[in-house]
Amino acid sequence: MTGFFDTPIEYLKGVGPQRAALLNKELNIFTFGDLIQHYPFRYEDRTKFVTVKMLDDEMLNAQLKGTVKSIGEIASGKKKRLSVVMVDETGELELVWFQGIQWTKDRLKIGANYVVFGKPARYGSKWSIAHPDIEPVNPQNEKGLALHPVYPLTEKLRARHFDSKSLSKLVSLLFTMATNKFRETLPSELLSTEKLLFKEQAIQQIHFPTDTKMLQEAQRRLKFEELFYIQLRLLKLKLVREDKFKGHVYQDVSVLTQFYNDHLPFPLTDAQKKVIREIYADLKSGKQMNRLLQGDVGSGKTIVAFICMLIVISGKSQAALMAPTEILAQQHFNNLKKFADLMSLPIALLTGSTKKSARRELHAQLQSGELKILIGTHALLEEEVQFHHLGLAIIDEQHRFGVAQRSKLWQKNTTSYPHVLVMTATPIPRTLAMTLYGDLNISTIDQLPAGRKPIKTIHKFDSHRLQVNQFLRDQISIGRQVYMVYPLIEESEKMDLKHLMDGYESVCRAFPDVAVSIVHGKMKPEAKDYEMARFKKGETKIMVATTVIEVGVDVPNASVMVIENAERFGLSQLHQLRGRVGRGAEQSYCILMSGFKLGADSKTRIETMVRTNNGFEIAETDLKLRGPGDLTGTQQSGALDLMIANLSTDGEILQQARDAAIRILQNDPDLTTPQNQAIRLQIDSARKTVVNWSKIS
Ligand code: ADP
Ligand code: MG
């Protein structure tokens, strides 16, 4: 069944095939429904007019009424501009266009009256507005429009003279045709308990708000709806799984007990114990576990992962750990192998670069059940990788794997699904966790191992280099080691490499009697490993590196982290880098070096780092600064392609939406009652267009 809103956009009057193609390509607008859901991203206040005399340097925008006095083209060098002089009763104003000159010229008449809107700029005593919004005076705009919608558009559309106004006109036309065509997408009971506008009203107000209050109501309703359906889907997924999927029961912990008795390298923290208890409760529950484990850098997630593996190994099953990159997989393998060797447990690494012959052997051992622990990248998902019995799949993801990929690992067993533990290497803010992992239970390690001294973080300008060097010399003389990290950003890789090499040279010059290592991404793996090993053994005292060490090494004796050009790093990355020190018993330091001139965001990032060591607080700030789409890796997770809601500011609405979804599913898990018909219809129509989530469960 296709409805009115499924009509292709080309059939809207004034669109036609050519414009339709443009709208498809530039804005992803294919249907009437897409157009109506292309929301403004801001609104201009067009309720007031000013006169030329009232113009002021501080004004961001001004709206004026006046008469066109002259129209002329002015050439300066090769460039041309259109200069239009407009007058009102108080003075003159120049309107300037550098593009679309002919097109604009054809639309203006000397002696006619216009309403103009734009940012005023003063040149000497003259006022001008570049590329103003201009419209002949008409009965509507004469009195001042209300809040004027500004739509997201592209350069290409603007070049074709398709602007916010053109879009607004199309939407307005569509509204005249759409009366009674709107389907309410939330149950009426929900609308009244949550005090939400009707769908039709909300959409109308989002495009053509009558006032600020109605606009806010409209935004709240549409954000609520968006977040509600995401939560409903996640919670439903969870419910279905808990209901349907039996989990293998792991009650026996004999292998784990042996580890506890003979090999536990340190007493576990209370937080680690709490998390292990939560996981063990899941493993013996008879239901499939789906749990997120989050904890700050250095909180000790690795040993928790290993302990959980030992529980399923006690039950004669196997365990797998999947990491998003080869380096991370290698690191996990190195760490876990240390523990596994203590227990003589067979463990292997599988990545894209594993040789064929090694693979064949590995496949065989995996299938026979001889191999107990497999670590790797998404190579684990390949068809040939077959387990004897996979009891636990651990996914270390830094938000990089989507729901679909996660679920692939489950399908490795035919009899029962393996238990799934998702680990995040960085703490994530609550709203993000609820959206990305809303279908999981969450365990948090909120405590660092005892005896760790909090890292002292200091910000220094480059001009204090000598003072910093002296500090490093003192630290080295009492036996410590130092990291010096340089930024590496892909677009300018060559420049950065030069920067790094220059840095290396000046370090060698400043510390002539100290052995210095250098490691970067362009080195051969063997050379890299060799240098890392030298540093780890203490043969070199300073490690100059790019961010490869973010995930690479664990050297407890390294107690100073110097980050060069700290203003160029993201907040989470700075925090990750800082986590490389503070692993031993000594006082550790993180020194953020920067130039004197700092942008507002860089300043906030550096100040946040200096103020706190708390990864959760840092993640919240990062989310506010960058928005969810920009957080490491999250671009790939469709869950964050939100149309209107914003996870950094809409936490409250998100919580309300989730609570509402929980309430509704509790009373009507299958959504079969008449009250929830609106929900059923909405899910069905969404299913046609987006991923078929039901297939995943
Ligand atoms: P992360 O959570 O960042 O993965 P790791 O698991 O790598 O942290 O642990 C960081 C360091 O702390 C490792 O050297 C690990 O052996 C050590 N560690 C973990 N748990 C404890 C503990 N309870 N007591 C002392 N050291 C611990
Ligand atoms: Mg780790």
Residue 121, domain CATH: 2.40.50.140
* Last residue within a domain, chosen from 389, 421, 445: 445
* pLDDT higher than threshold 80 for residue 426: no
Pair (332, 413) in one structural domain: yes
Pair (66, 36) in one structural domain: no
Mean pLDDT of 353-358: 93
Residue 439 alpha carbon to ligand 2 centre in Å: 23
Pair (38, 96) in one structural domain: no
Ligand 1 lining (C-beta closer than 6 Å):
266, 268-269, 272, 295, 297-303, 449, 554, 583
Strand, helix or coil for residue 410: helix
Pair (180, 134) in one structural domain: no
* pLDDT higher than threshold 80 for residue 29: yes
Task: Please state, in angstroms and rounded to a whole number, the distance separating the CA atoms of residues 290 and 393.
Answer: 10
pLDDT of res. 632: 42
Look up the domain containing 540 and give its range. 456-612
* Last residue within a domain, chosen from 445, 473, 497: 445
Residue 560 alpha carbon to ligand 2 centre in Å: 20
pLDDT of res. 635: 38
Task: With respect to residue 168, please indicate whether it lies within any of the assigned structural domains.
Answer: no
Pair (269, 410) in one structural domain: yes
Pair (510, 548) in one structural domain: yes
Under 8 Å CB-to-CB from 349, ≥6 apart: which residues?
329, 330, 333, 374, 375, 376
Mutate to test the pocket of ligand 1, among 259, 260, 303 (most ligand atoms within 8 A of CB): 303
What are the start-end ranges of the H helices in 108-197? 139-142, 155-159, 164-178, 188-193
pTM: 0.73
DSSP 3-state percent helix, strand, coil across the chain (nearest 5): 45, 20, 35
**What is the per-residue pLDDT across 601-656, written as a single tens digit (0 to 9) for each?**
999 999 999 999 988 889 889 888 876 554 444 433 445 678 899 888 899 999 99
Question: Which CATH number does the domain housing residue 577 bear?
Answer: 3.40.50.300
Task: With respect to residue 621, please indicate whether it lies within any of the assigned structural domains.
Answer: no
More confident call, 56 vs 241: 56
Checking phi first, is residue 108 left (phi over 0); if not, alpha (psi -120 to 50) or beta?
Answer: beta
Pair (608, 517) in one structural domain: yes
Mean pLDDT of 120-147: 86
**What is the per-residue pLDDT across 91-116, written as a single tens digit (0 to 9) for each?**
999 999 998 888 898 999 999 999 99
Kindly report the average pLDDT of the chain as a whole number.
Answer: 88
Pair (223, 356) in one structural domain: no
Amino acid at 129: I
Measured from the alpha carbon of residue 271, the closest ligand is 1
pLDDT of res. 695: 33
pLDDT of res. 57: 85
Mean pLDDT of 460-476: 96
pLDDT band (50, 70, 90) for residue 378: confident
Task: With respect to residue 164, please indicate whether it lies within any of the assigned structural domains.
Answer: no
Alpha carbon nearest to ligand 1 atom 25, residue = 449
**What is the per-residue pLDDT across 567-588, written as a single tens digit (0 to 9) for each?**
989 898 899 889 889 877 789 9
Task: Please state, in angstroms and rounded to a whole number, the distance separating the CA atoms of residues 95 and 129.
Answer: 5
Task: With respect to residue 157, please indicate whether it lies within any of the assigned structural domains.
Answer: no
Task: With respect to residue 388, please indicate whether it lies within any of the assigned structural domains.
Answer: yes
How many domains does the chain divide into? Answer: 5
Pair (213, 259) in one structural domain: no
Pair (15, 76) in one structural domain: no
Pair (572, 551) in one structural domain: yes
* pLDDT higher than threshold 70 for residue 138: yes
- Nearest alpha-carbon partner for 216 in 228, 205, 229, 201: 205
Ligand 1 atom closest to 556 (CA): 14
Ligand 1 atom closest to 299 (CA): 2
Pair (390, 505) in one structural domain: no
Contact 289, 283 (CB under 8 A): yes
* pLDDT higher than threshold 50 for residue 693: no
Mean pLDDT of 163-178: 92
Task: With respect to residue 630, please indicate whether it lies within any of the assigned structural domains.
Answer: no
* Last residue within a domain, chosen from 393, 417, 445: 445
Task: With respect to residue 170, please indicate whether it lies within any of the assigned structural domains.
Answer: no
Contact 635, 400 (CB under 8 A): no
Contact 113, 67 (CB under 8 A): yes
Mutate to test the pocket of ligand 1, among 268, 302, 394, 588 (most ligand atoms within 8 A of CB): 302
Contact 399, 637 (CB under 8 A): yes
pLDDT of res. 623: 86
More confident call, 554 vs 438: 438
Alpha carbon nearest to ligand 1 atom 16, residue = 300
Radius of gyration of the chain (CA): 31
More confident call, 46 vs 254: 254
pLDDT of res. 92: 94
Task: With respect to residue 283, please indicate whether it lies within any of the assigned structural domains.
Answer: yes
pLDDT of res. 212: 87
